[in-house]
Structure 1
């Protein structure tokens, strides 16, 4: 039986892939088009998800803040000006690293303490941070749907229920 943490990651990767596949069907300019929303473009919304996936992956890997924070501007720059296909490849690389980390993690519910320079320390669990990654992605994929509708295009369903239905039907997931 699959561990819940593995299922959450599979859902997150599946939902991102659904969104990328949908975006690939739309005109190229939709990805970088300026809109008045939470983010100025779909590309920048995806760049934000990528940045924070990288950040929380590093947190889960136990990388100290003094090594993470200097990388944040680099991760942010990695998506700027890139095509949809290039950004999709960056996401695939992070997904592979998350999968590798989960394979090496014998207890996804292990306790951990994370430290934030502004908000202090948090006693939590590995799985709770991973769940936060999934929730964060879900929230911002919703932003992308709103941004697509502003441009006259439909979004794509990425609800967890659709992931479960697809798995039940035997469609392979990530």
Structure 2
């Protein structure tokens, strides 16, 4: 059975893919153009999203923070200066790693305790952290839409409802 948390993650991948397909249609300079927003460019926003996805993939795999945090500079560098297509490939790779993790996690509601260096520990569930990953992506895809509009370009609809409707049409 396709579990709800898996479906939410597939929505997240779908929404990112739609965004990348849209970005590929825009002038190349839009991706790295500096704007006034949460991050200085679309590419840097996606770089942040990529780092976040890598980090929380390891959190969900229950890798200790002391093994995760040293990887952050490498992920940051890995995403720096990429083209839209190169960034899309990075996201495809982490999505496949996430899917492998989901396949290896038979109970998406399993209890887990995570530690945050600033806020302490949290007793939570795998599905709650996965929801956090999806929400984070939604938030920053919205930032990117605002950045594109600042540059005179439309965004792309990535609402969950559109994902559900497209999925239903394929059944």
TM-score by length of 1: 0.97
Which runs of structure 2 are paired with 1:149-160 in the superposition (5 Å)?
149-160=149-160
Q: Aligned runs of 1:9-24 on 2, under 5 Å?
A: 9-24=9-24
SS at match of 1:115: strand
Distance in 1 (alpha carbons) for counterparts of 2:78 and 2:160: 28
SS of the residue corresponding to residue 115 of structure 2 reads strand
Deviation at 1:116, TM superposition (A): 1.3
Aligned length: 171
How far does residue 77 in structure 1 lie from its aligned partner after superposition? Answer: 1.1
Distance of 2:116 and 2:27 partners within structure 1: 41
Asked if residue 50 in structure 1 is aligned to residue 47 in structure 2, the reply is no
Q: Deviations over 1:96-136 (max 9, x none)?
A: 00000001111010000001121111000000000000000
Alignment of 1:61-140 (within 5 A): 61-140=61-140
Question: What residue number does 2:147 align with?
Answer: 147
* Cα distance between partner residues in 2 of 1:75 and 1:161: 32
Q: Partners of 1:44 and 1:81 in 2: how far apart? A: 9
Alpha-carbon distance, 1:48 to partner: 0.7
Give the unaligned 5+ runs of structure 2.
none
Q: Which residue of 2 aligns with 1:169?
A: 169
Q: List structure 1 runs of 4+ shifted beyond 6 angstroms.
A: none
Q: Please, which runs of 5 or more residues in structure 1 have no aligned partner? A: none
Root mean square deviation, CA, Å: 0.8
